[in-house]
Chains A and B, each alone.
Chain A
């Protein structure tokens, strides 16, 4: 244990907990509100101005009122506080994240199946979180719409998860320097072929990490594309990739 700092933290927690846990308050308390109150007080312990902390929590509540998931926002506040980032900068980051989530929500709504279908299959938040991340990583709305068209081949409905993971897969590959159209085609083909999203993520990360290798040897990338198109097992494609040395790195 690290002594007085930690002890103060604990005491603050206990004090807050006992304050906020009086029966009449607890009965009405929303867990998110509780957490935000705690954060404001912790911020004050760190020497942050209460009004500035309030701006952060206002952003989270704004997101909540827009029907957006708030967990990642709260995590980001805690992260910023831990890393000693100035409060206004944390706020800027929150605003960006909320914008991406709003955009993701709009895109999912515009491209998704009918409301009944979505409710029945659940996990709306998951698709939103993943698509937001894809947008944060640099995929554009147009690219998202293209992914949607590619997966659905114009006349099939596309599950929101497939779109979200397709976009994220594309984002990861683009980060590795792979051309956008190739990234998109690979992600869409894989999902059309029934590849599990988690396996697509593994492939995308592998390809991202080997970006220079594929830029130098585009034929290798075509081999992967062909294997995906032919419906080869993703686990095999990935393990084959991993067993090959990366020729651009020192051996």
Chain B
């Protein structure tokens, strides 16, 4: 996701979209396709579904554009749509037996009992990335989305708060818990590896 504070001509593109200029919308889609597809992929763990959800996100954006406030950031608004689509989809799918909405109090227990892996089992960065991808799918959705926005998309807590409509303090706790949960997942991989 770009760290820029919005492209200078984005307002112009949006204005053209509001006049039914589909080509202008195509440009917007091109700009945000990569981050949105990847956000969806991190959320749902399947690239085909991610592509479909990304398409749905853009289509919703097109339909909802008249309601978009021009002084807000388009990227934030788009992200919100994407996250909502992914969460709804995961809720409907109910793939993991971890509840989507849980704040996961049970994770606070046994924190200290985590085995951090012996030096012989230190993962290379590459291996870490692969395991992290899997581990992300295994933690509750609320933690997953917070972690992705913070550590993969590199957003600030303020930006995340805007996107998710949740207080920064709450989001911070979710990110902290996500880190702990992921670390526990990785410990499982590392311990069970030969």
Residues of A within 8 A of B (CB): 113-114, 116-117, 120-121, 153, 155-159, 161-162, 191-192, 194
Contacts and interface: CB of A to CB of B under 8 A. Distances in A.
B135 to A, nearest CB: 11
B interface, size bucket: 10 to 19
Given A114-B93, A120-B92, A153-B134, A159 B45 contact: no
B137 A155 contact: yes
B45 A156 contact: yes
Q: Which of B41, B46, B50, B138 has the most CB of A within 10 A?
A: B46
Interface in B80-116: 89, 92-95
Contacts of B92: 116-117, 120
9 contacts: A113-B93, A114-B93, A114-B94, A121-B52, A156-B45, A157-B93, A157-B95, A159-B46, A191-B47
A12 to B, nearest CB: 45
A191 B46 CA distance: 10
A36 B183 CA distance: 62
B159 interface: no
A159 B51 CA distance: 11
Contacts of A116: 92-93
B162 interface: no
Contacts of B89: 120
Nearest to A114: B93
Contacts of A192: 47
A251 B37 CA distance: 44
Interface in B25-80: 41, 45-50, 52
Given A113-B93, A117-B93, A156 B48 contact: no
Given A117-B92, A155-B138, A162-B47, 13 more contacts: A113-B93, A114-B94, A120-B89, A121-B48, A156-B45, A156-B46, A156-B137, A157-B46, A158-B46, A159-B46, A159-B48, A159-B49, A194-B50
A121 B52 CA distance: 7
A158 to B, nearest CB: 7
A161 B93 contact: no
A169 B137 CA distance: 27
Contacts of B49: 121, 159
